[in-house]
Amino acid sequence: MSYLSDYLYQYFDEVSYKEFYRDVFPVGSFEQKGVFEKGKYNGILVEVTNEKLNSGKPRVLRHTITDDLEKLDEVVSRDNFCLMSPISYAGKTRDSSMARELYALAFDLDGLISTDKSPYSGIKELFWQIENTDYRIPKPTYVVSSGTGLHLYYVFEKPIPLFENVLEQLEVYKRKLTWFLWHDSISTLHDKIQYEPVCQGFRVVGTITKSGERVRAFKTGPKVTMEYMNSFYPEEFQVKEFAYKSDLTLDQAKEKYPEWYQERIIEKKPRKTWIFNRRVYDRWLQRIQTEYSIGHRYWCVWVLAVTAMKCGISLEELERDAFGLIERFNKDESPFTKEDVLAALEGYDSAWFTYPVEKMAYRSDVPLEKTKRNYQKQSDHLEEARAIRDIRQKRNGTNWDDNNGRKPKNDIVQKWRLEHPEGTKYQCIKDTGLSKNTVKKWWDGEHVSKKKARVPDFPTIKSVSQSIIKTKSDSDTVNVMIQLPKSTLDKINNMSLEELETVMEVQEDENIIGYAYYRMIFLKNNKNK
């Protein structure tokens, strides 16, 4: 028995895995086995078996958990590594876009303080702080001993539908509570906190741990409400826009969240995404095999999973590649296991579509560079770049082919940029021999016009979608990939020729300028018909 299980056993009642999951998922939560029931979904359990594929990598199984919970008996009887989240899903994928109802908020807690003099120091401090609300830790319904750490489950009296806006609020809330749980008086890893998404899977109660023991669950408190959870934190961290399952029908959701209903239910659109070329995935897989470092192997695989999602790589291919890294990563003294891989594969989730490149680089400790051409072919990017160049030349009353009023150094910089669409200022300085200040001065071209004009009010949002616009030029049909929110595209589509000309005169955003330009071509062509 681990020291954590030993401590919990002294003060709380242990429950079986069946009792635990029955309490988390009450009777009627899921579909009956073999029966389709509208408005009901199922749990999903992931199992890493000891069976090897032809590639030598372990076979990964995904089980649908129906209302009878019978599949748990089968899984627990095998000594395999298993994960499950306290969430119901539509279909058979654990992608957050398919998450439907949240039955519990679960938190991972590692690195609990333990010394020879005081082996229970960290876990004692945890429960002391739970009983003293000034320390901002609500009382969990269950605490699970996972072997080396703890899982805290806050089981809701009624499940919460995971509409997109609710999920976003829950992510903010979970991050706040995680910070308090990993306090430096509780965990030795306070400076290395693992912030996990709401849909994170956790080791299944009753299954085997790394040390060969069983994952054990202990009842520590009553079920909770979101109102109770909110009471511990200031308004900015609270989950306010939510409803319990019985209080919000699909029709009510349509009325309350019309945009979500139109896009996700009627049009069945996926979450907004950034799409990478598969070469990005292949290159990253190649790099981490030689550039990984101890302490960042998990994040290297996690970034691989995120990149796979963005590149449209199948989960099966990702799993083969990720498990194939184990042998290479284990050349060092600190072991990297299949359990670590499976945990890192949580990154294969549409929730991480817009995860910033800078953070991916920081987590993995492998430098990443942003593309400068919105993931287009170089020829397509050059076409757009030249169009924007011509627009700017027109503003300034000059032509690219003449020397009237243009500074030679500006010519050099602009010519180099057209020839190197992904190039950096540093590379330009190195190739041209120009000074840093000169390149910086002419990087965006000569800006002569000082005309003040009304800038159309384009909304700014955090996530953007990519749209492919097909329009006819004088002779050809041109496909243009524009990275703009739909609201901006709609605004530009409703503009007159005069308004579009104003946009191109006063706007600095190349995406807006480019689309306005092609929109002008479209209007002129149709005007002549």
Same domain, 75 and 219: yes
The DSSP secondary structure of 473-511, one letter per residue, reads -SSSEEEEEEE--HHHHHHHHT--HHHHHHHHHH---HH
Instruction: Print the domain residue range for 103.
Output: 3-247
Same domain, 70 and 162: yes
Torsion of CA 488, 490, 495, 499, to 10 degrees: 0
Residue in this structure with the two tokens 């817009």, named with its chain if needed: 354
pLDDT string in tens for the chain (529-residue length):
688 999 999 999 999 999 999 999 999 999 888 777 766 789 999 998 888 888 777 888 889 999 999 999 999 998 898 999 999 998 777 777 788 999 999 999 999 999 888 889 999 999 999 988 677 899 999 999 998 899 999 999 999 988 878 888 898 899 889 999 999 999 998 888 888 889 889 999 999 888 888 999 999 999 999 999 999 988 888 998 887 775 556 677 677 767 767 776 676 655 555 556 788 889 889 999 888 887 788 889 989 998 888 888 888 889 889 998 988 888 766 678 777 787 788 778 766 766 777 778 877 888 775 554 454 555 565 566 667 667 766 666 666 555 444 446 777 888 778 777 777 776 777 677 777 778 877 887 654 333 334 444 544 433 334 444 444 434 344 444 556 777 788 888 888 877 777 776 666 666 777 777 777 777 777 765 5
User: Looking at the domain assignment, is residue 431 inside a domain?
Assistant: no
Query: Is the CB of residue 103 less than 8 Å from the CB of residue 86?
Result: yes
Residue that terminates a domain, selected from 364, 390, 414: 364
Same domain, 220 and 296: no
Same domain, 243 and 284: no
Q: Considering its fold, how many domains does the chain have in total?
A: 3
Q: What angle do CA 258, 480, 495 make, to 5 degrees?
A: 60
User: Given the DSSP bridges, would you call strands 43-52 and 13-15 parallel, antiparallel or unpaired?
Assistant: unpaired
Same domain, 24 and 101: yes
Give the span between the Cα atoms of 508 and 504, in whole angstroms.
8
User: Given the DSSP bridges, would you call strands 99-109 and 87-89 parallel, antiparallel or unpaired?
Assistant: antiparallel
Type and span of the H or E element at 470: strand 466-472
Same domain, 212 and 305: no
* Contacts for 486-490: CB closer than 8 Å, 24+ residues apart: 487/459, 487/461, 488/458, 488/459, 488/512, 489/515
Residue that terminates a domain, selected from 339, 364, 389: 364
Residue that terminates a domain, selected from 318, 333, 364: 364
Count other Cβ atoms within 10 Å, centred on residue 476.
7
Same domain, 62 and 181: yes
CA pseudo-torsion sign 311, 312, 317, 323: positive
User: Looking at the domain assignment, is residue 324 inside a domain?
Assistant: yes
Same domain, 288 and 205: no
184-213 in b/e form (b: 16+ CB < 10 A) is eebbebeeebeebbbbbbbbbbbbbbeeee
Same domain, 463 and 517: yes
Same domain, 232 and 325: no
* Contacts for 311-320: CB closer than 8 Å, 24+ residues apart: 311/275, 311/276, 311/277, 311/278, 311/280, 311/281, 312/275, 312/278, 313/278, 313/281, 315/93, 315/348, 318/345, 318/348, 319/57, 319/60, 319/345, 320/53, 320/55, 320/57
Same domain, 286 and 234: no
Query: Is the CB of residue 160 less than 8 Å from the CB of residue 87?
Result: no
User: Looking at the domain assignment, is residue 402 inside a domain?
Assistant: no
Same domain, 108 and 188: yes
User: Looking at the domain assignment, is residue 271 inside a domain?
Assistant: no
State the burial class of residue 479 (Cβ atoms within 10 Å of its Cβ: 0-12, 13-18, 19+). Answer: exposed
User: Looking at the domain assignment, is residue 273 inside a domain?
Assistant: no
User: Looking at the domain assignment, is residue 357 inside a domain?
Assistant: yes
Give the span between the Cα atoms of 157 and 357, in whole angstroms.
39
User: Looking at the domain assignment, is residue 440 inside a domain?
Assistant: no
- pLDDT at position 472 is 40
User: Looking at the domain assignment, is residue 425 inside a domain?
Assistant: no
Type and span of the H or E element at 331: none
